[in-house]
Amino acid sequence: MRAWTILWLALVMVAAWAGAPAASLAARLDQALRRSQSLNAAFTGIEVIELNTGKVIYQNNADHLFVPASNVKLFTSALALRRLGPKYRFQTTVMATKAPDALGRVAGDIVWIGSGDPTLSGRAYPYRNNPYRNNTDELSLVSVGFLADQIVAAGVHEVTGDIVGDDTRYPYEPHPGGWSAGDEQEAYGAPVSALIVNDNRFLVQVTPTEEGELAQAASVGMPPGLLIDNRVQCVAQGKLDVHIERTPAGAVLVTGTIPLKMAGVTEAVPVGDPAHSAAAFLRDALIQRGVNVHGSAIARHRGNGENQPAWDGPVVARRTSPPLSDILQVVDKVSQNLHAEVLLREVGAVRLNRGTREAGLLELSALLQEFGVSKDDFVFSDGSGLSRDALVTPAAIAKLLVAMYHADQPDLWMGLLPIGGVDGTLDHRFSHHREASRIQAKTGSLSHVRALSGYAQTKDGTPLAFSILINNFGADTRLISKFLDDAGLALIQ
């Protein structure tokens, strides 16, 4: 009888020990929720899963739908990896509608056929964390010059026609439904196109001159032919109040005031028509190399339901992008919206022969069904999460994370995500806790929306998948971010 008693006590102790980590973690998360008064009127959803066992060890509103913001990029990245593969590359070509004659004369157009390649910029691929890098460093026309050099090397010295920017690989939908009108004026909402140079943006720099005079407005990486309408006044005192917007006529209107004590301000501005801008860059590069171009820079788009045009003529330049695995690091580390939107459409083009947002979303729905995610747990309308029409449950995000963790090349997948306190959008988070590097997660941010979903490793080495979504808060966003940091640190204690 004594032996049975000892065995029973041993089993009770083992069971208590096995349940202790989960209970302790749950208590820490509950405490973090109670402490954060900024969440009292907000809607918060959390799910935490132990990856080795698949056991759900914490839930809070996990089956409710939330606006996920950039956590949508987790789904887009998983879709691109599974449907395109990590070694997939974009192939950009430039062709002449007529072969150059013996004098190097093309009696026709030069056509830059956009492939969706988002890497024609000064960005580093794969991602490299550099705290001293700025927006100017990411702007470069080296790739455009690379194409222009090839065109000249192909014997082209004169073009009687136009320089055409063709982005018809994807039907032209520069701003998906669900994006706000204000997003169109921001660089993070740069227009979506199969032709992309410098993330379809440029910089406007405003610096003060003298009191009562107009400030100086200059540009970096602005497409040729675009004009700046500068109306910024210099003032002796006051706050910086500079506004930059694109006008219906296509100019850049800069208004407001700038105090003399300011060194200056630099803002990123989206281009109006990416295909036209790309064509203008290429035309300018050819002229700089001595090519006589008779025609203009023009854009070629197609609408939804229209067929992609078939160009006929010799290829005079080509470029191959870095592999998809490198591109996805930029998507998730810095939360690059345009890259994510392109990848959604590219999946539609490759898998369904339709480079549309809708085709990409069909493939995403199919992938999530393969992962066992219910159709009732998500509603997606874009690839970046900029749309407020997107909805998803924390449980669905956690299930995606579990599936990708147990799929092929989990290290590659997890390596896409920002590392706590180290790089990407988490480089300055978690109050520089050394242990925060055991958190790899994707952030999400819209007005009244914050999110953090990814992986965490507990102190004893147990790997976790987690998703935390917060909607409808009115508190200071810094307080919401502090709760997310506290919750993340609670996972790794």
Supply the pLDDT for residue 248: 78
User: What are 203-221's pLDDT values in tens digits?
Assistant: 999 999 999 999 999 999 9
Say how many C-beta atoms besides its own lie within 10 A of residue 12's C-beta: 10
| Range with lowest mean pLDDT among 34-48, 105-119, 130-144 | 130-144
Supply the pLDDT for residue 274: 97
With a pLDDT cut of 90, the percent of the chain lying above it is 84
With a pLDDT cut of 70, the percent of the chain lying above it is 94
pLDDT band (50, 70, 90) for residue 250 = confident
Look at residues 301, 290, 319 and name the one whose alpha carbon lies nearest to residue 143.
319
- Inform me whether the pLDDT recorded for 440 exceeds 80: yes
* Measured distance CA(484)–CA(267) in Å, rounded: 29
pLDDT band (50, 70, 90) for residue 386 = very high
- Inform me whether the pLDDT recorded for 2 exceeds 70: no
- Inform me whether the pLDDT recorded for 21 exceeds 60: no
pLDDT band (50, 70, 90) for residue 137 = confident
Q: What six digits make up the tokens of 477?
A: 């966003």
Supply the pLDDT for residue 493: 87
For residue 392, what is the enclosing H or E element? strand 391-392
Alpha helices in 36-87 (DSSP H): 72-83
pLDDT band (50, 70, 90) for residue 6 = very low
- Inform me whether the pLDDT recorded for 5 exceeds 60: no
Supply the pLDDT for residue 17: 38
Distances (CA, A) of 136 to 150, 178, 202, 208, 360: 26, 30, 9, 20, 32
Supply the pLDDT for residue 431: 81
Residue 472's identity, in one-letter code, is: N
Region 81-107: what's the mean pLDDT?
Answer: 98
DSSP string, 321-341: PPPHHHHHHHHHHTT-HHHHH
Supply the pLDDT for residue 439: 98
Region 409-428: what's the mean pLDDT?
Answer: 96
- Inform me whether the pLDDT recorded for 452 exceeds 70: yes
Region 161-173: what's the mean pLDDT?
Answer: 98
* Measured distance CA(174)–CA(113) in Å, rounded: 17
Residue pair 186/446 in contact by the 8 Å Cβ criterion? no
pLDDT band (50, 70, 90) for residue 16 = very low
> Which residues does 380 contact at the CB level (< 8 Å), separation at least 6?
72, 75, 361, 364, 365, 390, 392
Supply the pLDDT for residue 133: 66
Supply the pLDDT for residue 22: 55
Average pLDDT for the chain: 93
3-state secondary structure of 236: coil
Residue pair 492/439 in contact by the 8 Å Cβ criterion? yes
Supply the pLDDT for residue 305: 87
Region 342-366: what's the mean pLDDT?
Answer: 97
pLDDT band (50, 70, 90) for residue 3 = very low
* Residues counted in the chain: 493
DSSP string, 244-304: EEE-TTS-EEEEEEEETT---EEEEEE-S-HHHHHHHHHHHHHHHTT-EE-S-EEEE---T
* Measured distance CA(267)–CA(255) in Å, rounded: 13
Region 238-257: what's the mean pLDDT?
Answer: 90
Supply the pLDDT for residue 23: 59
| Range with lowest mean pLDDT among 3-12, 111-120, 414-423, 476-485 | 3-12
Look at residues 127, 39, 113 and name the one whose alpha carbon lies nearest to residue 331.
127
Supply the pLDDT for residue 14: 37
Residue pair 311/111 in contact by the 8 Å Cβ criterion? yes
Of residues 309 and 356, the one with the higher pLDDT is: 356
Region 125-154: what's the mean pLDDT?
Answer: 89
